[in-house]
Homo-oligomer: A and B are copies of this chain.
Amino acid sequence: MTTGPGISRTPLPKGFKAGGVNSGVRRYRPDYGVILSETEAVGAGVFTKNECKAAPVQYCMGLLPSKHVRAIVTNSGQANAATGQEGRDKNWRMALSVSKTIGCLPHQVLTASTGVIGKQLEIEKLEEAGSELVEKATDHAELFALAILTTDLVPKTITTEVELSGGKVRITGICKGSGMIHPNMATMLGYLLTDVELSTDVAQDLVRKAADVSFNMISVDGDSSTNDCVFLLANGASGVALKDDADYGKFRDALFDLSKLLAQSIARDGEGASKLIEVQVNGCHDLDLARKAARGVTVSPLVKSAIHGEDPNWGRILARLGAEGVPASSLDQMQLTIQDHVLFKNGAPVEFDKTNVRSSLRADTIQIVIDLNSGRENATAWGCDLSKRYVEINTDYN
């Protein structure tokens, strides 16, 4: 990784530009962002499974995968969800106005929104800001990353380079996570941009798999948004393709690693969070169960509160595993480790030095490893602790 989240300017892959401006929807800060590809890019995406899908999500699901993407435009402050036909019309106008400035067809412009549910877009402001947005786009990711933030504290961008047999390619990831100035949802938006050549099939497969090991394994509060989406754009501007399995493997691993880092940065920046919690469920007989169990532990308010209090309360973890359906036979032979301290083994608690373990929980990253010793499937999920600040943010936001 050449550039970490928010550390310095993050260069984009060849042929991409990105920008962000203030459209006037929010008072001061950038609230309207665009990613541009000079040429038509292959685009793929994965979207929220929430039945209540925002207008931009409905729109993009109808368009992707595609070989003709020229831009993704994103506004923050208004989610354009639960806004009916009027919302769909305004989403279309958002794509249309940007397409005019670029000089492409409207459905070559993808859209995303994040913000308050149930308010209609202030589309006139966005339409007016459209040309400035496109014109001021630069070759780095920061302005866009800023424009899509809500109550996130830190813009989240990473760029990495991969050496393939045909030459170097670049992948840039940008995302935003939990919360809003007027918070409604922990909406997650992710953008993966690369200058490698990909077919639509491979792009679609890769974005789904990348999301499954990263963005789909994080939780701030277990509430699933109306607006979540992860996009992958591949414009081929490097002139390099995935020639063989080795190339594919290298590219995939780099994409997955970058996606995981982005996902972790979202969890760490969760509303009120002071700690990143990583939960590994290893040795499970079933992958879906391993994923469900790992996520279950990261979602549990009792586990999250205990970690916030720096207490090694393994009983809450065990109880949650059972609640998620980990069979009693697995629980009887499992080993539970927190920060390298074994607390539970072979179905029974292990004596441990509480002072020692507690002090290890002062770290800002907490690792919980559950080895079920009953199969080969592993899953890792990330979450954050539950603090009074979370309740404050979500209670006193008016």
Give Cα A185 to B314, complex, Å.
12
Known contacts A50-B322, A309-B396, A81 near B184 by CB under 8 Å: no
Q: Mark A220-237, 1 if CB is under 8 A from B, else 0.
A: 011111100000000000
Interface residues of A in 341-373 (CB under 8 A from B): 344, 347-349
* Partner of A397 from B225, B309, B390 at Cβ < 8 Å: B309
Known contacts A311-B398, A395-B309, A51 near B185 by CB under 8 Å: no
Quote the shortest CB–CB distance from A81 to chain B (angstroms): 7
A322 & B118 in contact (Cβ 8 Å cutoff): no
Give Cα A51 to B318, complex, Å.
10
The answer to whether the Cβ of A1 comes within 8 Å of any Cβ in the partner chain is: no
Q: Mark A43-56, 1 if CB is under 8 A from B, else 0.
A: 00000011111000
Quote the shortest CB–CB distance from A197 to chain B (angstroms): 36
Give Cα A221 to B309, complex, Å.
17
Q: Mark A32-60, 1 if CB is under 8 A from B, else 0.
A: 00000000000000000111110000000
A52 & B117 in contact (Cβ 8 Å cutoff): no
Interface residues of A in 303-349 (CB under 8 A from B): 305-306, 308-309, 311, 313-316, 318-323, 325-328, 331-332, 344, 347-349
A319 & B391 in contact (Cβ 8 Å cutoff): no
Quote the shortest CB–CB distance from A189 to chain B (angstroms): 15
Q: Mark A288-310, 1 if CB is under 8 A from B, else 0.
A: 00000000000111100110110
Q: Number of contacting residues on A, CB 8 A?
A: 64
A302 & B185 in contact (Cβ 8 Å cutoff): yes
The answer to whether the Cβ of A72 comes within 8 Å of any Cβ in the partner chain is: no
Quote the shortest CB–CB distance from A179 to chain B (angstroms): 10
B223 & A320 in contact (Cβ 8 Å cutoff): yes
B52 & A184 in contact (Cβ 8 Å cutoff): no
* Partner of A309 from B84, B306, B320, B394 at Cβ < 8 Å: B394
The residues of B that contact A306 with a CB separation of less than 8 Å are 394-395
B225 & A222 in contact (Cβ 8 Å cutoff): no
The residues of B that contact A223 with a CB separation of less than 8 Å are 300-302, 316, 319-320, 323
The answer to whether the Cβ of A386 comes within 8 Å of any Cβ in the partner chain is: yes
Give Cα A331 to B224, complex, Å.
16
Known contacts A53-B328, A391-B386, A222 near B301 by CB under 8 Å: yes
A82 & B390 in contact (Cβ 8 Å cutoff): no
The answer to whether the Cβ of A388 comes within 8 Å of any Cβ in the partner chain is: yes
7 contacts between A and B (CB under 8 A): A51-B328, A81-B319, A118-B314, A184-B313, A221-B301, A223-B323, A388-B388
New contact pairs (18) apart from A51-B328, A82-B348, A305-B390, CB-CB < 8 Å: A49-B323, A50-B322, A51-B321, A52-B319, A52-B328, A81-B315, A82-B315, A82-B318, A86-B348, A183-B302, A185-B316, A185-B319, A222-B301, A223-B316, A301-B301, A305-B391, A308-B391, A388-B388
Sorted nearest first, the 8 A-B pairs with minimum C-beta distance are: A52-B322, A117-B315, A305-B394, A309-B395, A51-B322, A224-B323, A50-B322, A388-B388
